[in-house]
Amino acid sequence: GAVVSQHPSWVICKSGTSVKIECRSLDFQATTMFWYRQFPKQSLMLMATSNEGSKATYEQGVEKDKFLINHASLTLSTLTVTSAHPEDSSFYICSATSGRARNEQFFGPGTRLTVL
C-alpha cells in the first residue's frame, strides 16, 4: 500500500515551453502533497505544499507563477513548469500524506526534467 506514481519519469523539452508533471496516489487519498526539486549531488528542497481543493503554499524563493501547482483531487496533483529554461533542469519528486498517516510522506519515483 501507499504507492505514489509520477508521470513522466523523464522529459526533455525546448527552452520556453511548458512541462506538466503528474503525481498520483494510487491506493490512498492524499490530503496533502509536496513537491521537491533535487539538483545533482544535493538534497531535496521543498518547493511547495498543496492541499486538495486549495491553493498551494510555496516556499520562500520559489516563483509561484513559474511553478504552477494544482491539487484538484485527493489522488492527483500536477506541477507545471512554465516557460522552462535550462536552469530549471532538475529532478522533481512529489510526496503525499494521508489523513490517517500524516506523519509519514510517501514519495514518488521522481521526474527528470532536462531543458535544452
Partner 1 sequence: AQSVTQLDSQVPVFEEAPVELRCNYSSSVSVYLFWYVQYPNQGLQLLLKYLSGSTLVKGINGFEAEFNKSQTSFHLRKPSVHISDTAEYFCAVSDPSTSYGKLTFGQGTILTVHP
Contact set with partner 1 (CB under 8 A) = 4, 6, 32, 34, 42-44, 46, 49, 51, 91, 93, 95, 97, 102-110, 112
The C-alpha atoms of residue 90 and residue 72 are separated, in whole angstroms, by 25
CB nearer to partner 1: pick between 18 and 102: 102
> What pairing do the DSSP bridges indicate for beta strands 106-107 and 111-115?
unpaired
The CB-of-6 to partner 1 minimum distance in angstroms stands at 8
Measured in residues, the chain has a length of: 116
The CB-of-31 to partner 1 minimum distance in angstroms stands at 8
CB nearer to partner 1: pick between 81 and 110: 110
CB nearer to partner 1: pick between 93 and 115: 93
> What pairing do the DSSP bridges indicate for beta strands 4-7 and 67-73?
unpaired
The CB-of-51 to partner 1 minimum distance in angstroms stands at 7
Contact 4, 106 (CB under 8 A): yes
CB nearer to partner 1: pick between 13 and 45: 45
Cross-strand bridge partners of residue 21: 79
Tally of CB atoms within 10 A around 112: 14
